[in-house]
Structure 1
Amino acid sequence: MEERGYETFREGVSACLPTVLGYAGIGIAAGVVGRSVGLSVFQVALMSILVYAGSAQFIICGMLAIQAPVSAIILTTFLVNLRHFLMSMSVASHFSDEPLITNIGIGSLLTDESYGVLMTAVANDYKISSVWTHGLNITAYLAWIGSTVAGALLGSWIPDPNMLGLDFALVAMFAGLFVLQVDPAIKKQTKKTVIVLLAVCISLYVSMRFVSSEVAVLIATLLGCGVGVTIPDAE
């Protein structure tokens, strides 16, 4: 049987189109929020180019609004994006024959959404190429920058994103991602998935009584991972 594969840059662009539609709404919201805290259109664009992380950019805007110190903003952004190290390492084996600069390029532009598209292709036994992955990542990158700039331009006429419910856009996106990721896991490993979810929820609830919500999320995540690794898979 002929091996299925994703090889060309154009195929990577096509695979990214559903992600582009999602980025449009979230990116516009991020741009509007950026303008609402006093950033210029250029500063919003520069943040998207350099940071390129939806959740982190929303957090940065929130911390700017409360005039948090720069050191705290940098540390928080680093912690929030720390998961990208894990995602990059998990896909590195698929590009082991590629030059270092190619792997750096793939890892630098890898996001939650593009990682999901890439791993779905791997799970379906498609052979993927670095060129296809560049098409996927670069399309998402440009779509995010364009969407946030559009939002920043609209922000001049929409000073309060709460008017359109845009402040809830990021929560809605991650809720959707959560459902899509958990549903298959529950079908395959119902008992294990439920135990992990309970461990995360309980540890988060308890931790928030003693530490900040950001630290509580990290604690709950680590405990959830620990429980998931410890519990054996169902036969």
Structure 2
Amino acid sequence: MEKVKYETFREGVQACLPTVLGYAGIGIAAGIVGKSVGLSVFHVAMMSILIYAGSAQFIICGMLAIQAPVSAIILTTFLINLRHFLMSMSVASFFKKESLITNIGIGSLLTDESYGVLMTAISNEHKISSNWTHGLNITAYLAWILSTVGGALLGNWIPDPYMLGLDFALVAMFAGLFVLQVDTAIKKKTKQTLLVIFSVCISIFISMKFFSSELAVLIATLIGCGVGVTVSHDE
């Protein structure tokens, strides 16, 4: 069997292909929802190009539907996407030798899905190149734009995207990425991995009683990182 490589742009594209179904499912749904609140196909496309955030785009459409002020939409989008700062920082050390422009490009296009693929490769101790990461990120970016535009074009014929089960595609994709990451981690550091997972679950459960879901995720992530650093240091 040919060994999987993580060097060229093309290999990055290939690594992203298994996640494209998830992008397609939720992207089509996002496009249909955008069209249902009065956005044109062009507006949906520009939102995907400039904002490029699935959960944020759904919330933006909901806020547009209730005619929320622009300032509230901008602030909400910022809070929802704060987790991307954490994701970008966690992989920055692997690209220290790259130029500032390259690092900005990687950080700007990093999503939950591409981050999952990237971290799976890193956790398996593969040497990751910036070209491979660009291939992964750009493929995901284009897949999302095309999916949302396709959904906007279909918006007149499919009033309810959830009746097709398109939203489940993203959940299934995340489940697969999670299993791949946790399986490798548990085999190498069983006790430490279980402690981190437990701390994150408890943290998010408690945090959601007092904060929004977005802030709860950030708090749980930071606590999980702290626990992970602590147990690794104690080895």
Q: Give the aligned partner of residue 14 of structure 1.
A: 14
Contact 1:36-1:160 at 8 Å conserved across structures? no
The worse-fitting range, judged by mean Cα deviation, of 167-176 and 117-126 is: 167-176
Runs (5+) with no aligned partner, structure 2: none
How many angstroms apart in 1 are the aligned matches of 2:209 and 2:92? 38
Aligned partner of residue 26 in structure 2, secondary structure: helix
Contact 1:84-1:110 at 8 Å conserved across structures? yes
- 1:178-228 CA deviation, whole Å, 9 max, x = no partner? 444444444544444444444444444444444444444444444444444
Q: Give the aligned partner of residue 90 of structure 2.
A: 90
How many angstroms apart in 2 are the aligned matches of 1:93 and 1:203? 26
**Residues 180-195 of structure 1: pairs in structure 2 closer than 5 A:** 180-195=180-195
Contact 2:28-2:147 at 8 Å conserved across structures? yes
Contact 2:11-2:135 at 8 Å conserved across structures? yes
Q: Give the aligned partner of residue 137 of structure 1.
A: 137
TM-score, normalised relative to structure 1: 0.80
How many angstroms apart in 1 are the aligned matches of 2:185 and 2:127? 23
How many angstroms apart in 1 are the aligned matches of 2:234 and 2:202? 23
How many angstroms apart in 2 are the aligned matches of 1:208 and 1:120? 27
**Residues 191-230 of structure 1: pairs in structure 2 closer than 5 A:** 191-230=191-230
The worse-fitting range, judged by mean Cα deviation, of 214-223 and 90-99 is: 214-223
**Residues 60-99 of structure 1: pairs in structure 2 closer than 5 A:** 60-99=60-99
**Residues 80-119 of structure 1: pairs in structure 2 closer than 5 A:** 80-119=80-119
- Count of matched residue positions in the alignment of Structure 1 and Structure 2: 233
- Cα 1:34–1:167 change in 2 (3 A) is farther
Shift of 1:148: 1.0
Q: Which letter maps to 2:42?
A: F
How many angstroms apart in 2 are the aligned matches of 1:214 and 1:95? 27
- Cα 1:67–1:191 change in 2 (3 A) is farther
Aligned partner of residue 57 in structure 2, secondary structure: helix
How many angstroms apart in 1 are the aligned matches of 2:107 and 2:118? 12
- Cα 1:5–1:172 change in 2 (3 A) is closer
Shift of 1:119: 3.0
Shift of 1:168: 4.8
Q: Which letter maps to 2:153?
A: L
Q: Which letter maps to 1:32?
A: I
How many angstroms apart in 2 are the aligned matches of 1:134 and 1:167? 26
How many angstroms apart in 2 are the aligned matches of 1:217 and 1:6? 30
TM-score, normalised relative to structure 2: 0.80
Q: Give the aligned partner of residue 50 of structure 2.
A: 50
How many angstroms apart in 2 are the aligned matches of 1:6 and 1:200? 30
How many angstroms apart in 1 are the aligned matches of 2:205 and 2:122? 35
- Cα 1:68–1:200 change in 2 (3 A) is farther
Q: Give the aligned partner of residue 154 of structure 1.
A: 154
Contact 2:199-2:224 at 8 Å conserved across structures? yes
How many angstroms apart in 2 are the aligned matches of 1:49 and 1:184? 34
- RMSD over aligned Cα, in angstroms? 3.0
Shift of 1:28: 1.2
Shift of 1:154: 1.0
- 1:134-173 CA deviation, whole Å, 9 max, x = no partner? 2222121111111111111111111222322335554444
Runs (5+) with no aligned partner, structure 1: none
Q: Give the aligned partner of residue 40 of structure 1.
A: 40
